[in-house]
Amino acid sequence: MAKERKPETSRGLAVFCARIADEKIARDILILNLRKIDTSPTDFFVICTCDTETQMRAVIDSVLKKCGELGITKPRIEGYQSTQWVLIDFFDVVFHVMLSKTREYYNIEKLWGDAQFLKLTENGTARKADFKP
């Protein structure tokens, strides 16, 4: 990953997290823009799938390390010990790191099907995705 600057917006933070997941070879990375949904708990979800618990920890640890380096407020973390589904909660961005079977079971993309779905492009920017939950 090229030298990063501290994200200035919630969208920027979501893209930052997605890039880290991509760097750690996570799969099926989606950014859900929830800002137009009245009852949403946050502005953005970032969701990624990992193949192993070791890969999940690598993604999570990298996010925490890079946030610390950039002075981003330390997020709340839930599920780190169980490593089936870990939430990294920045308040306006919630990053979901999941094992494949857990993601398939909960299918949170379908629960938030009214969101605008974004994916990373090859150059690391977020673009609207043609995604049907």
For 42-74, the pLDDT digits (tens) are 999 999 999 999 999 999 999 999 999 999 988
Residue 3 lies in a domain: no
pLDDT (tens digit per residue) in 90-131? 999 999 999 999 999 999 999 999 999 999 999 889 999 887
Which residue is it, tokens 């990294």? 88
Asked if the structure places residue 124 within a domain, the reply is: no
Q: What is the pLDDT of residue 2?
A: 54
3-class secondary-structure state, position 106: helix
- pTM (predicted TM-score): 0.92
What is the residue range of 35's domain? 10-119
pLDDT at 82 over 60: yes
Quote the number of domains for the chain.
1
Antiparallel, parallel or unpaired: β 44-50 and 76-78: unpaired
